[in-house]
A = this chain, B = another copy of it.
Amino acid sequence: MPKLSERAETLPASPIRKLVPLADAAEQRGVGVYYLNIGQPDIPTPPQFFQAVDQSDIAVLAYSHSAGNESLRQQIADYYERLGHDIRPDQIIVTTGASEALSFVFAAITNPSDEIIVPEPFYANYNSFSLAKDAKVVPVTTHLEDNFALPSIDAFREKINDRTRAILICNPGNPTGILYTRQELEALRDLAREHDLFLIADEVYREFAYDSSEHLSILGFEGVDENVIVIDSISKRFSACGARIGCVISRNTELMDVIIKMAQARLSPPTFGQMGAEAAYQLPASYYAEVVDEYRGRRDALKQALAEIPGVVCPDINGAFYAMVQLPVDSAEDFCHWLLDEFEHEGKTIMLAPGAGFYATPGLGVDQVRIAYVLNQEELRSAMKCLAAALTAYQARTKSVNAAP
């Protein structure tokens, strides 16, 4: 057969989605599945979103502007103004989800074999998007026992070489649930400026900050307009993952001129999603407050439930809606397979994302899983009971296997 590309060979399967066929099979057998593997919230999408789509009185579902409708970009700029950031509509390019925003940015700033420094564990698709451009993610390891705080800035500095193009962070963190401090962010800013690197922040979970510490956007930094790139999305903010509306934001004109050419090549972002997003960005502050209260309650319920399971270690989680959790198993990957293939508790099982897929360094995260707390508190508690029962059964099974002659 004709040859595939080399990158095709190296492309990893998504740790978040690769177990889907096993989950489908479990459902086929009549076993219910708690889906905690994927950041797909169960929070209803705001009715205003659907209304805007339903009430749109258009005869032709046409391409929009390649950068996204001007009216939507104005709403996004207004949203940033309310957050205290001065962003013009022409500093925003609307994309088909944050995924496309990341793809555009990687294509605009990396040559083949260029490097992007990313604290690990990181959102697994950073790897896929960089591989698609033949660029390389260079990890700076953070540790569960430190609640995934950034190591000293020297750990970043020593990874910088002449192939380094950017430092990329996710804040609040997927999969870690961390919220970076001002001190951590300022150190990264200074390093990016010193080495003339892009500083990219994926801030799609911006509102999801649960404790006294506030989320800090890198858009607030001064004197680094050429360096700062923000990746954003409505998927989590408005529970509208299927709209596929994100954006890339930068005050670097030269960069945005390149990205608009890429945006023109793919014609336009989805029209319906833009209509809904425009309505959603006009929601009052109370909308965000309610959603964040709901997730804070879930976070607390998850932490409490996990604390009661022997051998499970859950770090502090202050933002987003994920936790990287250590399990008392040798291979979280095997355990996740077994959960779907063989286990059930009261007719249910649980789907988790194996941790190793969120690390670039081989061997790390093998006993960790990412839990997305995207179910309501009651379901979450039931899911954690299911997990506790599963761990007990799995350990018993392992022992009996080991005891076999």
Contact = CB atoms under 8 A, between A and B. Distances in A.
A308 interface: no
B38 A63 contact: yes
A266 B45 CA distance: 21
A248 interface: no
A41 B96 CA distance: 22
Contacts of A367: none
A61 B40 contact: no
A144 interface: no
A124 to B, nearest CB: 8
A226 B270 contact: no
A243 B6 CA distance: 32
A258 B134 contact: no
A74 interface: no
B241 A61 contact: yes
A11 B108 CA distance: 10
Nearest to A54: B54
A297 interface: no
A53 interface: yes
Interface string A236-268: 000111111000000010110010011011111
A195 B393 CA distance: 55
Given A1-B196, A5-B107, A59-B45, A17 B270 contact: no
Given A264-B13, A266-B99, A111 B6 contact: yes
A8 B104 CA distance: 10
A41 B60 contact: yes
Interface string A261-295: 11011111111110010000000000000000000
A196 B132 contact: no
Nearest to A245: B270
Contacts of A60: 40-45, 239
A59 B49 CA distance: 11
A244 B270 CA distance: 6
A7 B265 CA distance: 14
Contacts of A42: 60
A226 B134 contact: no
A272 B242 contact: yes
A42 B96 CA distance: 24
B242 A271 contact: yes
Contact of A112 (B3, B16, B134, B262): B134
Contact of A261 (B11, B54, B269): B11
B255 A269 contact: no
The 8 closest A-B pairs by CB, nearest first: A242-B271, A128-B265, A1-B226, A272-B272, A99-B266, A270-B270, A14-B264, A8-B258
30 contacts: A1-B226, A1-B252, A2-B109, A2-B197, A2-B198, A4-B258, A12-B261, A13-B261, A14-B261, A42-B60, A49-B61, A53-B54, A61-B239, A61-B241, A61-B276, A63-B241, A63-B242, A96-B100, A96-B244, A97-B267, A99-B265, A99-B266, A107-B132, A125-B267, A132-B265, A242-B272, A243-B271, A244-B267, A244-B268, A272-B272
